[in-house]
Amino acid sequence: MGQTPNSTENIDKTPASAASKKPNQSKLFVPEPPFRPGDTPDYSHISVPSNHTPVRPDPLCDAHDTVEHALKLIRVLRFNGENAGPWKTDLSLEKKLEALEIMMRTRAMDERMFTMQRQGKMSFYMKSTGEEAVSVGHALALRDDDMTFPTYRQQGILIARGASMKEMMCQVLSNSGDPLDGKSIPVLYSFKKHGFFSISGNLGTQLIQGVGWAMAEAYKNTDGIASVFTGEGATAEGDFHYALNFASTYRAPCIINVVNNQWAISSFQGIAAGRGETFAARGTGYGLATLRVDGNDILAVYAATQWAAERARGGGGATVIEHYTYRAEGHSTSDDPSKYRAENEGDVWPFGDPIQRLKTHLIYMGAWDDERHAALAETLKKEVRETFKEAEAMGSVANSTQLPDSTMFEQVYETEPSHLREQRQMFNEELG
């Protein structure tokens, strides 16, 4: 190991400014993850609860009745493939097979796009590998017209809602088929028609906006709800506090999802968590209902979302859901996780892989087998490859985007003010 965690070396050199004061035993504490590159990760201390999933209270219960749910873990899929416990869902077999396919399609797309980024076809990409159950399970439990306020790692919602993968790829390629005309970097999608709010590069901002959206639904007296997302890292932003506070004050019909994938780029979750018990427990102090769910268990995600959606639609207000999962791959195409975490950490993570877990369940149910699984993976791979070819034919930043540069002047305002008209003319004269 290159450096010693919590080394005392640096603090033994007392700064001159402290010379007249007495020593303080707490020193300056800086949390460190349990494992760093070169370590052998061991997560045996994380208990994987199988038989003590908390009870499923009435969705319109008092928020306080979910205090213990913030500390426990809702699980449905057992490792042996069984579907058990109080949160067991009534999803049909057909729906479960569909869920599996959507997760697999999401992963297949991520794989292809990552490779294509490596081949220089686009500037950037972000995978959601290992977290597909969170977005897909969540989307399947919502109504398609419920607005989601995603981060850049919920592409599964779009796939689940039937967005055109070609259009998504065109966005990533910033080409003539890009609905955003090349204005945003890859994966910052916007699909209003699929209830998928425009993604911002600024972390956290969408949390409070989603609460505002939900307040508008309540004001209009509709039963639409909003579902907002953050990674656990960005819960440290002020916007997370705004969202919980406003959601509580105005009983906004929304779901506040914290996707705890353990990592925020290179920072382990302990940097954002402080001495807090869980991220779900943050909701308790605001008087919000709280659930903590095994995020690699799509049936548990589905069940928790369904509960929270019912609560929101029924006037019970917001629920904070912590989806406990693991970021299986690098943060983005610009990141190399081997520089800050143990190499095989994802493999030994005790909650497994969400696609494997659902697959095991479907096999246990007698509705699936390895051959069909492999065949589906192959079909999806082909489908994605073909779709990418079609998308690439519409241009890419690698060769020509096939987008007129002058589109950059559009949609700044509803109508073009004179200073922009003048700049567009300048642009034409200088570069046209």
Partner 1 sequence: MPQMTMIEAIRDALDVKMSQDPDVLVFGEDVGYFGGVFRCTAGLQEKHGLHRCFDTPISEGGIVGIAIGMASNGLRPVAEIQFADYIYPAYDQIASEAARLRYRSNGDFTAPLTIRTPVGGGIYGGTTHSQSPEALFTHISGLKTVIPSNPYDAKGLLITAIEDNDPVLFLEPKRLYNGPFDGDPHKPALNWKKHELGEVPAGHYTVPFEKARMIAEGDDVTILAYGTMVWVADAVVKEMGIKADVIDLRSLLPLDLDTIVESVKKTGRCVILHEATRTSGFGAELSSLVQEHCFYHLEAPIQRVTGWDTPYPHAQEWAYFPGPKRVKRAVKAVLKGA
Q: Give me the 295-314 binding string for partner 1, x by CB under 8 A, dash otherwise.
A: --------------------
Determine the distance from the C-alpha atom of residue 261 to the mean position of all C-alpha atoms in its chain, rounded to a whole number.
8
Q: 97 contacts which partner out of partner 1, ligand TPP, none, CB within 5 to 8 A by kind?
A: none
Contacts of 144 (CB under 8 A, 6+ apart): 161, 194, 195
Residue nearer to ligand TPP on the CB measure, 150 or 352:
150
Choose the one of ligand TPP, partner 1, none that binds residue 115, judging by a C-beta under 5 to 8 angstroms depending on kind. none
Please identify, using beta-carbon distances, which residue of 260 and 401 lies nearer to ligand TPP: 260
Q: Which of 238, 146, 147 minimizes the C-alpha distance to 198? A: 147
Site string for partner 1, 113-152 (x = CB under 8 A): ----------------------------------x-----
CA distance 162 to 389: 19
Count CB atoms within 10 A of the CB of residue 7: 11
At closest approach, how far in Å is the CB of 349 from ligand TPP? 14
The entry of ligand TPP, partner 1, none that residue 188 binds, CB within 5 to 8 Å by partner kind: partner 1
User: Which partner in ligand TPP, partner 1, none is near 364 (CB below 5 to 8 A by kind)?
Assistant: none
Cβ closest to partner 1, residue 225 vs residue 384: 225
CA distance 287 to 273: 19
Binding flags for partner 1, 169-208, as an x/- string (CB under 8 A): ----------xxx-xx---x-xxx----xx-xxx--x-xx
Q: Is 165 exposed, middle or buried (0-12, 13-18, 19+ CB in 10 A)?
A: buried
* Cβ proximity of 228 and 243 under 8 Å: yes
Q: Which does 238 bind (CB under 5 to 8 A by kind): partner 1, ligand TPP, none?
A: partner 1
Q: Which residues bind ligand TPP (CB under 6 A)?
A: 151, 153, 201-203, 230-234, 259, 261, 263-265, 327, 331
Report the residue number, 63 or 256, with the smaller CB distance to ligand TPP: 256
309: exposed, middle or buried (Cβ count in 10 Å: 0-12, 13-18, 19+): buried
Q: Is the dihedral of CA 269, 350, 45, 73 positive or negative?
A: positive
Quick one: DSSP state of residue 312? H
Q: Which of partner 1, ligand TPP, none binds 153 (CB below 5-8 Å, type-dependent)?
A: ligand TPP
